Structure 1
Amino acid sequence: MTEQESPTNEAIERLAGELHERGRALNHLLAQGPPGLTEPATAYTVLANLTQTSFRLAQTAEQIDAFLTRELDAGRLGHDRGDDPVQAVTAVHNALGQVTEQAADLGESFRRAASALAPIRAQDGGGELSPGRRTVVNLVEREDAQVGPASKDFPRTINEVLPGPAVAEDLPPELRSPPQPPHPRRGR
């Protein structure tokens, strides 16, 4: 959906369908193996994006719940069988609360997987360092590299240099706590 396009029901449905189709296409590409996925860095990026997607799905569930609550409170919802819609909307609310929790848990699991993968890198066929790493090693091993102890340039300890623990406002959204599920509504 472009920024000029107004958010219609059709546009919302199309985006949800595209999300499903993109997931299918991603799974298809990942299942193929080389020349597809060949770098741990790519796997890390995929995991990081899946982390964000999971948290966004939790937010989507919350927004659908808020919409239904707003419409119910305004008296704009009916039931196909003529029943009071409160019981059905309450059941949807409770299910979406579970979805929110599970999506947040899924996002947190993807985040942990990405964090565990972060130090992993690809090696060339014989267990040698990849070309970028080899360049760094070769520079350090050169006689004229003028490599000396870091303490000469950095006389302070790491704890003196690094700031204290980050405050929640200073953290980017992807590192903050996941959204919390709505509290179940027991009835009206």
Structure 2
Amino acid sequence: MDDHDIHTDEDIERLAGELHERIRELNRVIQEPPGLSQPTAVYTVLGNLAQTAFRLVQTTEHLDAFLTAELDAGRLGHDRGTDPVPTVMKAHNALARAAEQTMELGETFRRAQGALAAIHANQTTVGPSSDRDEVAAASLTNLTDHSAAPDGAAGEDFPRPIDDVLPDAPHVEQASSEPRSKPQVPPPRRER
């Protein structure tokens, strides 16, 4: 699909399902051998997770705006024949809470990423290991023993987009690196 295609509800549902599947695939490739081998990859993944969370805030706002517009236009009904306003208000309040929690999640990922900015592997390459416990123990030692870490950046090749890390990822437009204002959580609607 390009930007000029007409998108249907089915397209939107499929994209949400693909998001779920991409996270499942990310979890699988992190956990299965060879998995992660460099702390720079953790830094990159955390940055991408932060951006994903911030974009999910926008998604909740768009969903709420749609429901609000449909309710205001009188295009929503309730399966039980009752007034849809109380039910849509519950969804509105839950979406507002989800936006707040997702914003905090993004900020938490960003703080975790920032904490790792100066962390790097002591070895120039860490290949697949049959004993991943040794690699994990060495990484933990590196994280706690600051005196052993040489000066310098963790690497020139990060942050990398999540699509570079996952195999066969469809092209996804990268977000602007410019800081943007914090999305506003919509105020609660009053019942009619």
Tell me if both proteins adopt one fold, taking TM over 0.5 as the criterion: yes
Which of the pair is proportionally richer in helix?
1
- SS of the counterpart of 1:175? coil
Residue of structure 2 in register with 1:75 after alignment: 74
Give the Å deviation of 1:55: 0.6
**CA positional deviation for 1:7:** 1.5
Q: Which residue of 1 aligns with 2:99?
A: 100
Residue ranges of structure 1 left out of the alignment (5+ in a row): 134-171
Structure 1's 52 and 114: CA in aligned 2 closer, same or farther, altered over 3 A?
A: same
Residue of structure 2 in register with 1:32 after alignment: 32
Partner in structure 2 of residue 2 of structure 1: 2
**What percent of counterpart residues are identical?**
57
Q: Tell me which residue corresponds to 2:179.
A: 175
Moved over 4 A (4+): 125-130
Where does residue 19 of structure 1 map in the other structure?
A: 19
Provide the C-alpha distance between the structure 2 equivalents of 1:121 and 1:177, rounded to a whole number of angstroms: 31
- The structure showing larger relative contact order (alpha-carbon pairs under 8 Å, at least 6 residues apart) is 2
TM-score by length of 1: 0.71
Distance in 2 between residues matched to 1:24 and 1:109, nearest whole Å: 21
Alpha-carbon distance between aligned partners in 2 of 1:60 and 1:173, rounded to the nearest angstrom: 19
Partner of 1:43: 42
What is the identity, as a one-letter code, of the residue corresponding to 2:5?
A: E
How far apart are 1:173 and its partner, in Å? 5.9
The number of equivalent residue pairs is 148
Matches within 5 A, 1:33-182: 33=33, 35-124=34-123, 175-182=179-186
Counterpart residue identity of residue 25, structure 2: A
Q: Return the letter of the residue paired with 2:69.
A: R
Question: How many angstroms apart in 1 are the aligned matches of 2:86 and 2:7?
Answer: 29
* Separation (CA, whole Å) in 2 of partners of 1:87 and 1:173: 40
**CA distance, structure 1, for counterparts of residue 38 and residue 5 of structure 2:** 37
Please tell me the root mean square deviation across aligned C-alpha atoms, in Å.
Answer: 2.4
- Output the TM-score relative to the length of structure 2: 0.70
For 1:38 and 1:177, the matched residues in 2 are separated by 35
Q: Counterpart amino acid of 2:6?
A: S
User: What amino acid is the match of 1:105?
Assistant: E
Equivalent position to 2:189, from 182, 185, 188: 185
Structure 2 residue runs without a partner (length 5+) = 127-137, 143-147, 154-175
